[in-house]
Structure 1
Amino acid sequence: MCNVIDSPLLSIVTINFNGYKDTCELIDSIKRHIHSVSYEIIVVDNASRQQEGELIKSNYPWVSVICSTVNLGFSGGNNLGIKQANGEYIFLLNNDTYVCDDHFDVLIKLLKENDRMGIISPKIRFAAQPQLIQYAGFTSLSHITLRNKAIGYAEVDNGQFNSTYQTGYAHGAALLIKKTVIEKIGLMPEIFFLYYEELDWCTKALENNYEIWYSGSATIYHKESQSTGEASPLKTYYMTRNRLLYAWRHKEGLLKWVSLLYLI
């Protein structure tokens, strides 16, 4: 039995965009495994074809479904869900992820006990090769290339990243944040639409003296780029565009222009 109540501790927000099957698998996995905390699930349908939002409403009447008439992108869709969230903690989960354990309470406890800890991401493994790690934290962004690396990427998970530590940035596929932090730093920047918005958000949190953490105490499985396609033209366009946009927003002086010239 799922632990859904009217005044939940946790709000789980996910975006559906022509990904009905994945979204259903995520909801089913949450219902099956998460019992340690009270929660609500909010699905934002980003103007999918075939009225997928209505299908989700019909099949999961206990899930809050918000149907947008336009595609708001990753940041806009998440913001729409965040505005409706009732929980003290908000977990942004990609719809192409699923859970296999009940350790969300550990992540919440970490945030609750540390006022400066603003955002935390769990360990992420590849769904297609579940023994391999996709994310165990991020290195800092290069000041020039605005690229970074996922710690542990493609390594076999032998428990080497089971600890909890500060990291450069959270992962947009699985990101837990306090509502009070959002109230201070604002919603996700919608100017990005897709990609780099979580890096910008984390940067805003860091600028407001919050810390970004990773914890290997919980694991999420990620199917990776099901919505936009691996190395698709859409992904390439927004990754390139948004690196330039991030540099413009967050770099100053000579460093800004060096970074912009490199990226161009």
Structure 2
Amino acid sequence: MELSVVVVNYNVRYFLEQCLVSVFAAIKGIEGEVWVVDNASTDGSVEMVKLKFPQVKLISNQTNLGFSKANNQAIKLAKGRYTLLLNPDTVVQEDTFRECINFMDTHPDAGGLTVKMIDGKGRYLPESKRGFPSPWASFCKIFGLTSLFPKSKLFAHYYLGHLDKNATHEIEIMPGAFMFLRSEVLKQVGLLDEQFFMYGEDIDLSYRILQHGYKNYYYPKCQIIHYKGESTKKGSLNYVIVFYKAMILFAQKHFSKQKQNHFVTMIKLAVAIRATASIIKRLIIKVWLPVTDFALMFLGAYLLIPWWEQFRHGVTNIYPRDILYALIGFYLLTWIMSLWLYGAYDKPQNLKSGAKGILYGTIAILVVYSILPQNFRFSRAIILILSAWSSLSITLNRILASTFIEGLLKWNARKKSVCFIGTASELKGSEELLIQAGFHRNNITHLLPEEVLDEHQRAKKEIIADAIKYKNISEIIFGTEGIPMTSIIHAMMYLSEFDIDFKIALHGGDSIVGSSSVEAQGELYTLEVIPLAKPVARRQKRIFDILSSALIIVLFPILWIFLVKPLMVFKSALQVFKGEKTWIGYNHPNISKQNSVLKPSVYLYSKWGKGLTSTVGLDFYYAQHFSITLEVSELIRNIFKTQD
């Protein structure tokens, strides 16, 4: 057997699906096998592989064993002359495997090979080729000298920045995202060191290959997409700590005692600095909006109440200050809670979230105000004036904050112009997802494969570039029915100068996948994110579950005669209250399995009154139209004796 491809997956189902589609296109004509090792994913990855890729040799772990151990599980069973360790958040060209095999066959000194990687915006990833992380190289990387001098042999050795990214080179370290290895070399040097749970195992293995007299190569004739950040949040504090712990482990394993001590000291200093900076930054970003919102609303109350007293009554301090201060505190806290409930502190957010939070908070305040004793009811006008001030101030606050809080605002998708490059049938299948995601049909430009591909299946990049310029395109989506991955990747690299987003819609798939930056976790258009997976919807659903189940439990002695299966309802209310279940959920079994957002449901969302027949269509309706009103009506209809 020529090739064994090993993919370790953890909770990136849609990226794994895209990866496997590209892998099977690239393995055609090659005697090979594909292994997927799943590390206890909860997003339906295992079910997806079984359903859509029955030819995959699947290992399904019940716990997360880590990257090294999971890879080793498959490597021990693999039969290929070559073994490829591949990340699930990658896309390979159709000729990638054949080119790599040819290179390795003609370079018997090669122990391993890696290729040129681009991110989800078509930009070259410097970690495609890496140098040995010596204390000096690591110092330059940790303290930013590598970024300041990206092409310096002295300062950028960590990424071998002095070497031409478009030429083949001998390198020291291969990235774990794509390691094309000679299997007999693996037997000689040993498998991945399982001391490395995640990160550092690629450095360790690459180093051991060199120690055994073989060479590692960077081969840019092949390019792959590496979305980078889907499997792990590389900007997180946890990443910093885990990665540098791996560096310390590597140093302890391979450096001399003196060199090791210097390296470990430097790493610990770097971790302390990075961790402290990360904690401070996260804390500031986390509290910035609620603190400044509260301060701006308080400022409004401080300035506007005396103005209103003077305007309305011709004198200030007419309202008793002790009671007034208590009421103002209640108003401000209600608005802050309402803003939180409606997503005004989530990332990314729409400016409408703030306005909605103030609106519903104001309604709640007015309801409470109406039942207060007479001596607590001074003026509804103050509530309305402060609500208008609050709505304006928090909107301006978010616009200003978005300049330093990356990804804070998500501008209206309906205003974005999208170019879909694919067949008419692909567009028809993807159009529903795009509209569900908020895009307007009039803002979707369509180009057929024959319009943008020449006779050699290469992208006519000038045609796409013209569409970007003249139709103000901000995002390109490639269909895969008539466009090879090779053409898609080449087009992305060519068009990266336009700084637009790219996504790929798998032919026959139910998702559109992409990533807008190296740091981003990626963007995904599919049922699970429209909009039930959003934090605001989950929060509202959970609060509804708590309040409704608590009400049922408390009032059960009165309600039981009106309930359908009262004991079952009471037991379910206890489970819902504890967070073990949710009242309403999806019908379709695949969607239920794939969706890790919703807890197991007591009742399935019904087609009652909706005129919908298929369960998938019904679930789309539920995901798209989720609201508390809908939850209330469904719960009442299910638990009380009102069914038709």
Which TM-score applies when normalising by structure 2?
0.37
1:171 CA displacement: 1.0
Q: How does 1:249-260 map to 2 (within 5 A)?
A: 249-260=253-264
Could you tell me how far apart the structure 2 residues matched to 1:151 and 1:257 are? 25
Paired position in structure 1 for 2:237:
233
Paired position in structure 2 for 1:105:
98
Q: How does 1:208-223 map to 2 (within 5 A)?
A: 208-223=212-227
Paired position in structure 1 for 2:51:
58
**Counterpart residue type for residue 258 of structure 2:** L
1:144 CA displacement: 4.7
SS at match of 1:132: coil
Shift in CA distance, 41/142, structure 1 to aligned 2, threshold 3 Å:
same
SS at match of 2:158: coil
Paired position in structure 1 for 2:179:
175
Paired position in structure 2 for 1:129:
121
Could you tell me how far apart the structure 2 residues matched to 1:247 and 1:56 are? 38
Q: Which runs of structure 1 show a deviation greater than 4 angstroms over 4 or more consecutive aligned residues? A: none
Kept after mapping to 1: 8 A contact 2:128/2:175: no
1:134 CA displacement: 3.9
SS at match of 1:149: helix
Could you tell me how far apart the structure 1 residues matched to 2:180 and 2:221 are? 13
**Counterpart residue type for residue 172 of structure 2:** G
Could you tell me how far apart the structure 1 residues matched to 2:74 and 2:265 are? 37
Counterpart pick for 1:119 among 95, 112, 127: 112
Q: Does 1:166 align with 2:159?
A: no
Q: Does 1:29 align with 2:33?
A: no
List alignment gaps of at least 5 residues for structure 2.
142-156, 269-644
Could you tell me how far apart the structure 2 residues matched to 1:239 and 1:21 are? 26
Q: Does 1:11 align with 2:20?
A: no
Listed one character per residue, the Cα deviations across residues 177-230 of structure 1 (whole Å, up to 9, x for unaligned) are 011011101110010110011101111111111111110111111000211113
Aligned alpha-carbon RMSD (Å): 2.0
Kept after mapping to 1: 8 A contact 2:22/2:94: no
Paired position in structure 2 for 1:96:
89
**Counterpart residue type for residue 129 of structure 2:** G
Q: Does 1:139 align with 2:131?
A: yes
SS at match of 1:14: strand
1:34 CA displacement: 3.9
Listed one character per residue, the Cα deviations across residues 29-72 of structure 1 (whole Å, up to 9, x for unaligned) are 12234435332111000111155223311221111111111211
Could you tell me how far apart the structure 2 residues matched to 1:99 and 1:57 are? 21
**Counterpart residue type for residue 167 of structure 2:** S
Listed one character per residue, the Cα deviations across residues 85-137 of structure 1 (whole Å, up to 9, x for unaligned) are 121100111000011341322211222233321011011111x2114344442
Could you tell me how far apart the structure 2 residues matched to 1:33 and 1:107 are? 11
Of stretches 181-190 and 98-107 in structure 1, the one that deviates more from structure 2 is 98-107
Kept after mapping to 2: 8 A contact 1:101/1:218: no
Could you tell me how far apart the structure 2 residues matched to 1:26 and 1:122 are? 16
**Counterpart residue type for residue 99 of structure 1:** V
**Counterpart residue type for residue 138 of structure 1:** R
Kept after mapping to 2: 8 A contact 1:136/1:152: no
Could you tell me how far apart the structure 1 residues matched to 2:258 and 2:136 are? 11
Paired position in structure 2 for 1:5:
none
**Counterpart residue type for residue 113 of structure 2:** I
Shift in CA distance, 225/131, structure 1 to aligned 2, threshold 3 Å:
closer
Q: Does 1:44 align with 2:28?
A: no
Could you tell me how far apart the structure 2 residues matched to 1:177 and 1:33 are? 17
List alignment gaps of at least 5 residues for structure 1.
1-7, 154-159
SS at match of 1:49: coil
Could you tell me how far apart the structure 2 residues matched to 1:198 and 1:151 are? 16
**Counterpart residue type for residue 239 of structure 2:** K
**Counterpart residue type for residue 35 of structure 2:** I
Q: Does 1:204 align with 2:197?
A: no
Could you tell me how far apart the structure 2 residues matched to 1:248 and 1:218 are? 35
Paired position in structure 2 for 1:157:
none
Shift in CA distance, 193/161, structure 1 to aligned 2, threshold 3 Å:
same
Could you tell me how far apart the structure 1 residues matched to 2:29 and 2:48 are? 28
Could you tell me how far apart the structure 2 residues matched to 1:131 and 1:51 are? 30
Could you tell me how far apart the structure 1 residues matched to 2:126 and 2:59 are? 30
- Percent identical pairs in the alignment equals 27
Paired position in structure 1 for 2:248:
244
Shift in CA distance, 135/256, structure 1 to aligned 2, threshold 3 Å:
closer
Could you tell me how far apart the structure 2 residues matched to 1:189 and 1:235 are? 19
Could you tell me how far apart the structure 2 residues matched to 1:259 and 1:79 are? 29
What is the aligned residue count? 250
Could you tell me how far apart the structure 2 residues matched to 1:33 and 1:131 are? 22
Counterpart pick for 2:158 among 137, 149, 153: 149
SS at match of 1:29: helix
